[in-house]
C-alpha cells in the first residue's frame, strides 16, 4: 500500500494527492500535523532515504531556522527525537511504500509509483510519437 503523508496547507501535498487520484493509484493519506509521526515511523522513512536526514529535513522551515542546530552532528536518536517533537521539520508530502520514497512533489519522480506496465505503455507511445 502506498502512503501519503501531507500537511493540508502544503500546495505540494495537494498536487501529490491530485496526481495519485488522477492515475488511479490507491493510497493511505495521513495528515502529519494532526497525527504526528512516532519514532519508529521516522526511522522507517529514514531507512528509505538515500541521503539520510538531508532528504527529509526542511531547511526552509521556521522551526529549522529557530532551532539553529547542525543536523549533521546529531546522533540518530537525537534526530528522531527532534523530528517527533517538531513535525514541521519534515518536508511534505512524503510518498512511500516498502521500497520507494519521494519527499516533496516532483512530477517526474512521482511516476516511479506507476505500475511498470503503465510506464512501459507510456514509453512505447512516446517512442512512436518521436518516430512519426
Three-class SS state of 28: strand
The DSSP-derived string for 38-59 is: -HHHHHHHHHH-SSTHHHHB-T
* pLDDT attached to residue 115: 82
Q: Which of 56, 59, 48, 39 is nearest to 90 (CA)?
A: 56
Distances from the Cα of 79 to the Cα of 2, 45, 108, 126, angstroms: 25, 13, 29, 44
* pLDDT attached to residue 114: 85
* pLDDT attached to residue 126: 85
**Count of structural domains within the chain:** 1
**Three cell numbers at 37?**
509521526
Give the integer Cα–Cα distance in Å for 20 and 70. 35
* pLDDT attached to residue 90: 94
- Give the domain range for residue 123: 2-131
Assign residue 23 the CATH number of its domain. 3.40.30.10
Strand partners, 5: 30, 94
**pLDDT 10s per residue in the chain (132 long)?**
899 999 988 999 999 999 999 988 999 999 999 999 999 999 999 999 999 899 999 999 999 999 988 888 899 999 999 999 999 999 999 999 999 999 999 988 998 898 887 778 888 888 888 887
Give the integer Cα–Cα distance in Å for 77 and 32. 20
Report the 3 state secondary structure along 76-100: HHHHHHHHHHCHHHECCCEEECCCC
Amino acid at each position: 500500500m502506498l502512503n501519503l503523508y501531507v500537511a493540508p496547507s502544503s500546495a505540494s501535498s495537494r498536487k501529490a494527492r491530485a496526481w495519485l487520484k488522477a492515475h488511479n493509484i490507491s493510497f493511505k493519506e495521513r495528515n502529519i500535523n494532526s497525527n504526528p509521526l512516532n519514532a519508529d515511523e521516522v526511522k522507517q522513512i529514514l531507512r528509505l532515504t538515500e541521503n539520510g536526514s538531508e532528504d527529509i529535513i526542511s531547511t526552509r522551515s521556521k522551526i529549522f531556522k529557530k532551532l539553529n542546530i547542525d543536523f549533521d552532528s546529531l546522533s540518530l536518536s537525537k534526530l528522531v527525537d527532534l523530528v517527533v517533537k517538531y513535525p514541521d521539520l519534515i518536508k511534505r508530502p512524503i510518498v512511500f511504500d516498502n521500497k520507494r520514497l519521494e519527499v516533496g512533489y516532483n512530477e517526474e519522480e512521482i511516476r516511479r509509483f506507476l505500475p511498470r506496465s503503465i510506464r512501459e505503455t507510456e514509453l512505447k507511445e512516446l517512442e512512436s510519437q518521436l518516430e512519426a
